[in-house]
Amino acid sequence: MTNHNTPRGRWWLVLAGLATLALAACSPNNGQNSVSPHGTNAKKIDNLILPIWGIAIVIGLIVIGGVVFVAVRYRHRPGNERPKQIRGNIPIEIAWTMVPAVILAVIAIPTVSLIFQTDATPSNPVNITVIGKQWWWQFEYPASNGQKPVQVADELHIPAGRNVDLTLKACDLSLPYGFNNGPGCNVIHSFWVPELAGKRDVVPGRDNHLTLHSDTTGTFQGQCAQYCGLSHANMRFRVIVQSPADYDAWLASQRQGPAVTLANAGDAGTLFSKTFACTNCHISENSSVSTYGPNLTHLASRSTFAGGYYALTRPQLIKWILNAPSLIPMQSKDCRKGPPGTPGATCVGMPSFTTNTPQGMPVMTEQQAGTLADYLLSLK
Amino acid sequence: MSTATETHTPVPVRTPVLLRRPKKTTGFWSWFTTVDHKKIGILYACTALIFFVVGGLEALLIRLQLAQPNGNVLTASQYNQLFTMHGTTMVFLLGMPLSVAFANYLVPLMIGARDVAFPRLNAFGYFGFVLGGMFLYSSFLLGGAPNGGWFGYTPLTSTPISLGALPGRGPDFWTIGLIIVGIASTTGAINIIVTALNMRAPGMTLMRIPVFVWMMLVTAFLTLFALPIITVALIMVFFDRNFGTAFFLPTKGGDPLLYQHLFWLFGHPEVYILILPGMGVVSEVLPVFSRKPLFGYPVVVFSGIAIGFLGWGVWAHHMFTTGLGPVAISAFSLSTMLIAIPTGVKIFNWLATVYKGAVRLTTAMYFALGFIAMFTIGGLSGVSLAIVPADTQQHDSYFVVAHFHYVLFGGLVFGLFSGFYYWYPKVFGRMLNERLGKLNFWTMLVGFNLTFFPMHLLGIYGMPRRTYRYPSGFGWDTLNMIATIGGFLIAVSVLIFIVNAIVSRRRGAIAGPDPWDGRTIEWSIPSPPPEYNFVEIPEIQARDDYWHYKYTEDDDGMLVPLPSGGADNVHNAAVTRLAAAPTHPIHMPSPSFYPLLVAVALPILGYAAVFHSKWYAFVLLPIGALTLAFGVYAWAVEPATADEETH
């Protein structure tokens, strides 16, 4: 057996190596690729699993090759109608029980070791709180040195070379209705940036932790990985790893007041706070406050919006303001009755201002949407 | 009651006649009252196949939607309903009942029994399953299908509608529907356990029963113990959602992870409930078409039992990313790796069975060999998922979708298709067409791999599952398109099978009792078997008893046909089992209306529960309750065999 199979065995090894390489090398450069790791944890995972996949591919090929071999080699033909009746062979069966057991034991050691490594509390971390909402992410940079916290949506900035300790929450208790009628407190999300680290669920009622650490700067794609209702597919985000200096500058700019106050925004101010009551769910003058919808104080400093699904451009923003549910499906039928927290209103998401407009509000014109978009895009 | 002189004319025992007892055992209406395990097996199989087609059509819609980035074949809401119903259908309405179909038909035949232990309970199990399935599907017309995933994670599913959770009645239909189907499956499991343990023919010791029966016995025990757990969880979800309890609502002190523990404590044994029957089928098919006994029967049996036991200790590997802490996670990682060992042993034993055999490459054998190959891939990706750090990348990505389809489709479906080709001649007396069968196999093998292999890569490249659309530019487009093409090839393959099954029913070659030169005793009786299965209950001398009527071994262990055997009169060897007519009356259980009646009560009560806030719930509730009470009472007082009424 082994003698005439040796060349075949080498062939399989080469094939398996090539397959593993192809997996890693030919994979898309999409910023969301688990075999193109940049974060420390993602790299450790990649280093652990690639050789295991190599072994698995070899074993798989041996077994499949074995299936084909026994079927073809021993197919029924004149001369072999009377096979030997073998009912078993205890030593062989013990052997093929033990060999996989040994292989698994060898795999188990680095596995358990890495479980404890990735779960360890990081030293000297940057603390950021992540809050999963339906269907977008809010990132809260805590208050420090007498400065207020900062709330950001969709784009998480972190400094390169530092341990970042993310506290993952599904309940936003700062909202007045957050605890008893908590849209966003109803679902589990999962925070996943494949190129930086493995995922960790965001479970209502618990504070989970995840450590990010990346020495390379760049923009990495993330996405909610746990089914969280209607628009789960659209719950994307980005992690922007910056040099510490850039990161500090960015955070400082986010702590600033708005570039334009509503009082100085002219028509847009009236439309935003009165006509369409955007202020029911959003705030655009104070980056430290958590609101039902994303905090818009520095919206224009971001490159994406709407759960990170769309690029932040004027035409896209106008479409969104006019009829958000047509771009991202939301449970917004009830938003007509009033903002979240209104008794009887089970609004999840943003209403349309062109069809089924909220009670007592006019249909929004494209011009009004343009005015609002210009205002929002001025909020650097 | 009677004097000595009257013993020959017994006084009729008065039993309350509630419904005139059905007599017919043939014809259309007999299918509604039958208690014959073989007819019920056929009903199970046909119904499960209909659900297979429905679940498959749902899968095709899903694949159409995902064929291209930003697909707009379906809305998000429709997609979420379809993936929920696809999973629910394939697990509860295809996988479990199709295995039960095989068990129903074959376990009595393989152990030398005339029927299952509880024939009417058997009929009830079937009707409960089909009516539960119809109840679930009626949700499409009554306010939206379930949309919380087949796993139905809380608090998404358990949050009251008034608090803005999932819209529609979907989760209510899902919880109640699964409870109904679960009641049916539980009765089926009890029946199989009692039948396999108590109804064996003389000499059919436990270490002589065919491996398929063993695997169904383990499956039935898993079902019996696993279903109560999910039933509890489902009731808790229903109460959270409708009656203000807070088992899983964190805002009121509940714990959403409790649900995951309960669900997977059911859900992981469920995986083995689905795969063990496939392993059983393959363990029958491989020896017959290799002309060799199963290599290491005791090891294969004990591996199956070990898988059944270990299956209870791995549930949290579905929860590696929930933050259970490194100690618990390491423990479940190790237990998960452990379960790969008995599974691997089985694969090697199957290969050793074929090794140096005289392999007849029939369609049944193709599917059995395909099972080994595809299941191995699923097992290896399963080991990869047991490596927790890697799992934190692969979990809830398309890698997992690939993994469990290799296990459940490459495993269960390939295994059961092998079983179809193998036992169809026994059930219908005619052969399935082999040429169509080979076409069936190759289209399925190619279509299956085209569909699911690319999903490994999609997951590794970062595509999460349960997403109704994905943006372009992520390198996922081509792989998704390939998967969609593969999906349609699977559909073609299933169509070929259906055509084959329908056409062969009338035009297939006459099978005779033993077309495959089988080893187990179901091949010693006519095809299709008579209602009473065996004229004389056989006395079992050995494992693979029927084989010993036909063959022996020489001193070197080589196969030797018995002198009285040979191609022409092989079947004469077991002549008593094939006698044309029984020489004495054989009392078989009589048909009954009550299993159907009791089953009908369940969905009526189900609708009352789902629509409990509407006025008509108060009409449905008494109707359902009275039907149930009447059915159970009448069933209890009705004798199993009609003769007993008139004696």
Q: What is the pLDDT of residues A21-53, one digit of tens each?
A: 677 667 888 999 999 999 999 999 999 998 899
The whole-number pLDDT of residue B29 equals: 84
Mutate to test the interface with B, among A26, A77, A104, A221 (most CBs of B within 10 A): A104
CB B319 within 8 A of CB B396: no
**What is the mean predicted confidence (pLDDT) over B21-27?**
78
Residue B644: the pLDDT is 52
Q: Which of A27, A185, A198 sits opposite B251 (nearest CB)?
A: A185
Range with the poorest average pLDDT among A16-20, A234-238, B209-213: A16-20
Minimum-distance CB partner of A104 among B337, B351, B473: B337
Structure confidence at residue B161 (pLDDT): 74
Q: Is B149 on the interface with A (CB under 8 A)?
A: yes
Cβ atoms within 10 Å, residue B607: 21
pLDDT value of position A297: 96
Distance from CA of A255 to the nearest CA of B (A): 31
Q: Would you say residue B578 has pLDDT above 70?
A: no
Supply the mean pLDDT for chain B. 91
Q: How confident is residue A180, by pLDDT bands cut at 50, 70 and 90?
A: very low
Q: What is the DSSP letter of A140?
A: E
Structure tokens at B486: 């593969």
Question: DSSP alpha helices (H): ranges in chain A?
Answer: 2-25, 40-73, 90-119, 244-255, 267-270, 314-322, 324-327, 366-377
The minimum CA-CA distance between A52 and chain B, rounded to whole Å, is 7
Confidence of residue A81 (pLDDT cuts 50, 70, 90): confident
Per the document, the length of chain B is 647
For residue B535 the two structure tokens come to: 């004229």
Residue B464: strand, helix, or coil: strand
Smallest Cα distance from A270 to chain B, Å: 30
- What ipTM does this complex have? 0.93
Which range, B14-18, B44-48, B155-159, is most confident? B44-48
As given in the structure block, the two tokens for residue A314 are 């004027």
- Residue B5 pLDDT grade (very low, low, confident, very high; cuts 50, 70, 90): very low
Tell if the CB–CB gap between A85 and B292 is shorter than 8 Å: yes
d(CA B164, CA B148): 14
Q: Which tokens belong to B382?
A: 């399963």
Identity (one letter) of the amino acid at A120?
A: A
- Chain B residue closest to A171 (CA)? B251
Q: Contact at 8 Å (CB) between B517 and B360?
A: no
H and E: helices and strands count for chain A = 8, 12
Nearest CA in chain B to A42: B393
What Rg, from alpha-carbon coordinates, does chain A have? Answer: 28
Using alpha carbons, list the distances in angstroms from residue B127 to A16, A323, B137.
50, 48, 15
Query: Which pLDDT value is given to residue A14?
Result: 67
At residue B560, the 3 state secondary structure works out as strand
Best B263, B460, B550 member to test A by mutation, with max A CBs in 10 Å, is: B460
Tokens 């009424």 correspond to: B645
Report pLDDT for A231: 93
Q: Is the pLDDT reported for residue A355 higher than 90? A: no
Residue A177 has pLDDT above 90, yes or no: no
Work out the minimum CA distance from A298 to partner chain B, whole angstroms.
Answer: 25
Q: Quick check: A301 pLDDT over 90?
A: yes
Q: Is A187 on the interface with B (CB under 8 A)?
A: yes
- Determine the angle formed by the axes of helices B594-610 and B119-138, rounding to 10 degrees: 30
pLDDT of B574 strictly over 70: no
Query: For residue A192, what are its two tokens?
Result: 């996943």
pLDDT of residue B567: 43
**If you measure CA to CA, which chain A residue comes closest to B461?**
A33
A49 touches B390 (CB < 8 A): yes
Which residues of chain B does A45 touch, with a Cβ-Cβ cutoff of 8 Å? Answer: 389-390, 392-393
pLDDT tens digit string along B374-409? Answer: 999 999 999 999 999 999 999 999 999 999 999 999
What percentage of chain B reaches a pLDDT higher than 90? Answer: 80
Which chain B residue shows the shortest CA-CA distance from A167? B323
How many Cα atoms occupy the beta-carbon half-sphere of B274 within 13 Å?
Answer: 25
Give the C-alpha distances (Å, rounded to integers) separating A201 from A187, A209, A225, A321, B87.
11, 9, 8, 31, 22
Of A83, A226, A340, which has the smallest distance from its Cβ to B559's Cβ? A83
Arithmetic mean of pLDDT, A52-59: 90
The three-state (H, E, C) secondary structure of B168-180, written as one string: CCHHHHHHHHHHH
Please list every residue in chain A whose beta carbon sits closer than 8 Å to the beta carbon of residue B255.
205
**Cα-based angle B78, B82, B84 (whole degrees, multiple of 5):** 120
The residues in A 84-143 lying below 8 A from B, measured between CB atoms, are 84-89, 92-93, 96-97, 100-101, 104, 107-108, 111-112, 114-116, 118-119
Q: Does B245 have pLDDT greater than 60?
A: yes
What's the rounded Cα separation, in Å, for the pair B50 and B639? 34
A:287-326 residues touching chain B, CB 8 A cutoff:
309
Burial of A22 per CB tally in 10 Å (0-12, 13-18, 19+): exposed
Residue indicated by tokens 């059983």 = B280
- Residue B510: beta bridge partners? B430
**Contact across the interface for B389 and A221, Cβ inside 8 Å:** no
With CA atoms as reference, report the closest residue to B396 among B456, B465, B460. B465
Cα B226 to Cα A147: distance, rounded to the nearest angstrom: 54
B359:A81 CB<8 A: no
> Is the model's pLDDT at B487 over the cut of 50?
yes
Gap between the Cα atoms of B353 and A82, Å rounded:
14
CB A122 within 8 A of CB A172: no
CA distance readout (Å), B600 to B38, B123, B339: 22, 12, 40
Strand partners, B464: B397
Tell me the average pLDDT across B45-69: 97
What pLDDT was estimated at residue B15? 55
Q: How many residues does chain A have?
A: 380
| Per-residue pLDDT at B580 exceeds 60 | no
Q: Which range is least confidently modeled, A6-15, A332-341, B234-243?
A: A6-15
Percentage of residues in chain B having pLDDT higher than 70: 93
Give the Cα separation of A198 and A204 in Å (integer).
20
Backbone angles phi, psi at B583, to 5 degrees: -85, -5
The pLDDT value given to residue A13: 63
The reported pLDDT for the residue numbered B312 is 95
What pLDDT band is residue B565 in, cutting at 50, 70 and 90? very low
pTM of the model: 0.93
> Are B323 and A200 an interchain contact pair (Cβ–Cβ within 8 Å)?
yes
As a dihedral over the C-alpha atoms of residue B425, residue B33, residue B121, residue B529, rounded to 10 degrees, the angle is -20
**A352 φ, ψ (degrees, to nearest 5):** -85, 145
| Statement: residue B2 has pLDDT above 50 | no
Range name among A308-312, A316-320, A350-354, B585-589 with the lowest pLDDT average: B585-589
Number of A/B CB contacts below 8 angstroms equals 329
pLDDT value of residue B252: 81
Mean pLDDT of B239-245: 91
Task: Look up residue B595 and give its two tokens.
Answer: 């299993």
Res A19 pLDDT > 80: no
Q: Determine whether B616 is exposed, middle or buried from the number of CB atoms within 10 Å of its CB (0-12, 13-18, 19+).
A: exposed
- According to the model, what pLDDT value does residue A41 have? 94
Q: Which residues of chain B make contact with A179, given a CB cutoff of 8 A?
A: 251
* Closest residue in chain A to residue B561, using alpha carbons only: A82
pLDDT for B404: 96
List CB contacts of B191: < 8 A, sequence separation 6 or more. B116, B117, B118, B121, B122, B125
CB contact under 8 A, A82 and B559: yes
Residue of chain A minimizing CA distance to B74: A329
pLDDT tens digits, one per residue of A120-174: 899 999 999 999 988 999 999 999 888 899 999 999 999 999 999 999 998 877 7
3-state secondary structure of A220: strand
Reference B347, options B307, B314, B392, B390; nearest CA is B307
Task: Decide if A195 contacts A241 (C-beta within 8 A).
Answer: no
Chain B residue numbers with beta carbons less than 8 Å from the beta carbon of A30 are: 461-462, 473-476
Task: Find chain B residues with C-beta within 8 A of A112's C-beta.
Answer: 330, 333-334
User: The tokens of B358 are what?
Assistant: 């005289």
Tokens at residue B4, please? 């000595």
Partners of A92 on chain B (C-beta within 8 Å) are 352
**Position B647 pLDDT exceeds 60:** no
Q: B interface mutation test: which of A20, A58, A75, A115 has the most B CBs within 10 A?
A: A115
3-state class (DSSP) for residue A36: coil
Over the Cα atoms of chain B, what is R_g?
26
Question: With an 8 Å Cβ cutoff, are B356 and A107 in contact?
Answer: no
Exposed, middle or buried, B145 (CB in 10 Å: 0-12/13-18/19+)? buried
pLDDT at position A25 is 66
Q: B495-502: which pairs have CB atoms within 8 A and are 24 or more residues apart?
A: B496/B436, B496/B439, B496/B440, B496/B443, B497/B417, B497/B420, B497/B436, B497/B440, B498/B49, B498/B53, B499/B436, B500/B432, B500/B433, B500/B436, B500/B437, B500/B440, B501/B420, B501/B424, B501/B432
| Other Cβ atoms closer than 10 A to A357 | 16
Q: Report the distance separating Cα B613 and Cα A209, nearest Å.
A: 42
Distance CA B437, CA B416 (A): 14
Residue B493 has pLDDT above 50, yes or no: yes
With contact defined as beta carbons under 8 Å apart, do B323 and A119 qualify? no
Q: Does A354 have pLDDT greater than 80?
A: yes
Question: Token pair for residue B153?
Answer: 């994670």
Query: B interface mutation test: which of A230, A236, A309 has the most B CBs within 10 A?
Result: A230
